[in-house]
Chain A
Amino acid sequence: MVVKTHDAETKRGPGRSDAVLRALWGLGRTRLRGTVSILAGLLLWELLSRYLVANALFLAAPSQIVGALVHLSATGELGHHIAISAAEFALGYVLACILGIALGLFMAESEAVKQSLQPWVSGFYATPIIALAPLFILWCGIGIWSKVLVVVSLVLFPVCINTEAGLRTTSERLIEMLRSFGASRAQIFWKVSLPSAMPFILAGLKLGIGRGLIGVVVAELFGSRAGLGQLISQSADSFNMPDLFAAVIVLAVAGIVMTAGFGWIERRLVPWTRD
């Protein structure tokens, strides 16, 4: 009996650790492919720019970009540009989110409000508002507020549309369930409509990140005293490819980090949408 139990355990032991090893190997392999692909791409880029293009006016090698990043950080120039762009983005983004969610709530709550605002919202969402950036700069000057305005106008509409859609598609059956317990309108809103609209609202906010970043950079290209977009345009004017790419890399990292952060928030806030 004892021998048998022992036997069974030794049989199960390796089986389980095998499974763990296989899982790790699988995970390692999926990560591995991505990492190898990125490294190979960087290497190709490095070789291309050193030996094939070999002209610092057209393409900077990754090693040169790293050099530029280090240099720009050391002089404090990069930090200044990042701080300006980040402030423009953050102000515009937060303002747009507050306004967009509020507008979405009003539209979901009242049919009259929805019917009057819908054409404007859909219209502005479909319009490349970024083309109005020069106009906003004329109105608000080349300081940060013209950029804030551009970000607001780009982020507001997707947030508003998603909020409204999320609230509107709340399951009638869930609302009725709450109603059967004698719930008030306010209780239905807080306990059912808002939580069930959360995944939509978060998706709208996520969409806003990419649009907001584009807004900041393009608006700065049109006219600004500082910011990553200004760094890009100034570097392009002086054919300084390493600095230009350095700014682009910073923007890419910002976009990736913010989107990944949103994924994390989504997993914590709306875990029921995972499957």
Chain B
Amino acid sequence: MTPKLEVRQLSKRFGDLEALQGIDIAIEEGAFIAIVGPSGCGKTTFLRIVAGLTDASEGEVRLDGKRVEKPGADRGFVFQSDNLLPWRTVLANAMIGPEVSGRAGAKERQRTLDLLRLVGLAGFEHYHPRQLSGGMRQRVNLARALAVDPTVLLMDEPFSALDAQTREIMQTELLRIWEKGRKTALFVTHQIDEAVFLADRVLVFARRPGRLQDVVEIDLPRPRRLEMKRTPEFVRTVDRIWRLIEDDVRASVMQGEE
């Protein structure tokens, strides 16, 4: 069986800086993959290359066997900042994807309304972004990515701007929504517990040059609940990943890098 997403010898250079070096991964359909690593390990760059927003210097990304060259509706991107258009309502914001691909008919509208209900925004369809809280705005961000019915969901630290409690709620909400469709998901984060809680597999990136250091399988049962974060097994897994990247994180902090 061909994997859903295949990355071969992927490298990216920004001038002299080697952001990514020789990444090789195969991801099967329906897997939830989290990517963690210290600042500057190229995890976001990796996600952007898969999205087609950034070009690779070498190597390639294949989605369903086809080479990725530019952005497309087969991938939904959830941004770190919500990037909502302030002049559009929640519904109109979520519809932008279908609109861009020229398929904004009654069927897509209904689908988007259902999605907004799924992410917990029923009754807010005609609100404007400025009337929503940060958590609600990220829900719109997620619904917008899902509205194009992508086969792969790409998420770039979508909860990093939220407070700790909202963040935990959003993690369980994301899993609840993901369970409904089980789309292949790539989730970039710098929080290890978030990665372990969400993913089937955690890709651990290292820096200088940015590369894939280790792959950690997460065997926690699904559906997962917040209580799971206090189980010994969960804590042990988080600790194991932390020890993998600890030196790297320390180095990046000491060098005063973001």
Contact = CB atoms under 8 A, between A and B. Distances in A.
Contacts of A196: 85, 87
10 contacts: A173-B81, A174-B85, A176-B79, A176-B83, A177-B96, A180-B75, A180-B79, A181-B101, A183-B100, A270-B87
A181 B71 contact: yes
Interface string A142-158: 00000000000000000
Nearest to A188: B100
B157 to A, nearest CB: 14
A178 B51 contact: no
Contact of A182 (B71, B85, B86, B129): B71
Given A182-B73, A271-B87, 14 more contacts: A173-B81, A173-B83, A174-B85, A176-B53, A178-B100, A179-B53, A180-B77, A181-B97, A181-B101, A181-B148, A183-B100, A191-B100, A271-B128, A275-B130
Given A180-B71, A192-B85, A173 B100 contact: no
Nearest to B75: A180
A275 B129 CA distance: 12
Interface string A246-275: 000000000000000000000000111001
The 3 closest A-B pairs by CB, nearest first: A272-B86, A177-B83, A180-B77
Interface in B75-97: 75, 77, 79, 81, 83, 85-87, 96-97
Contacts of B72: 182
A180 B87 contact: no
Contacts of B53: 176, 179-180
B70 interface: yes
Contacts of A195: 85, 87
Contacts of A275: 130
A221 to B, nearest CB: 43
Contacts, number: 58
A182 B100 CA distance: 7
Interface string A180-200: 111100010001100110100
A182 B79 CA distance: 15
B87 A182 contact: no
A47 to B, nearest CB: 50
B100 A187 contact: yes
A178 B52 CA distance: 13
A182 B130 contact: no
Contacts of B52: 180
A183 B83 CA distance: 15
Contacts of A181: 71, 73, 96-97, 100-101, 148
B129 to A, nearest CB: 8
Contact of B130 (A174, A177, A272): A272
Contacts of B79: 173, 176-177, 180
B99 to A, nearest CB: 8
B70 A182 contact: yes
Contacts of B73: 181-182
Nearest to A275: B130
Nearest to A173: B83
A65 B85 CA distance: 51
Given A178-B100, A180-B71, A182-B71, A272 B83 contact: no
Contacts of A183: 100
Contacts of B87: 195-196, 198, 270-272
Interface in A126-185: 171, 173-174, 176-183
Contacts of B130: 272, 275
A189 to B, nearest CB: 13
Contact of A272 (B51, B71, B100, B128): B128
A63 B100 CA distance: 62
Contact of B71 (A179, A198, A270): A179
Contacts of A270: 87
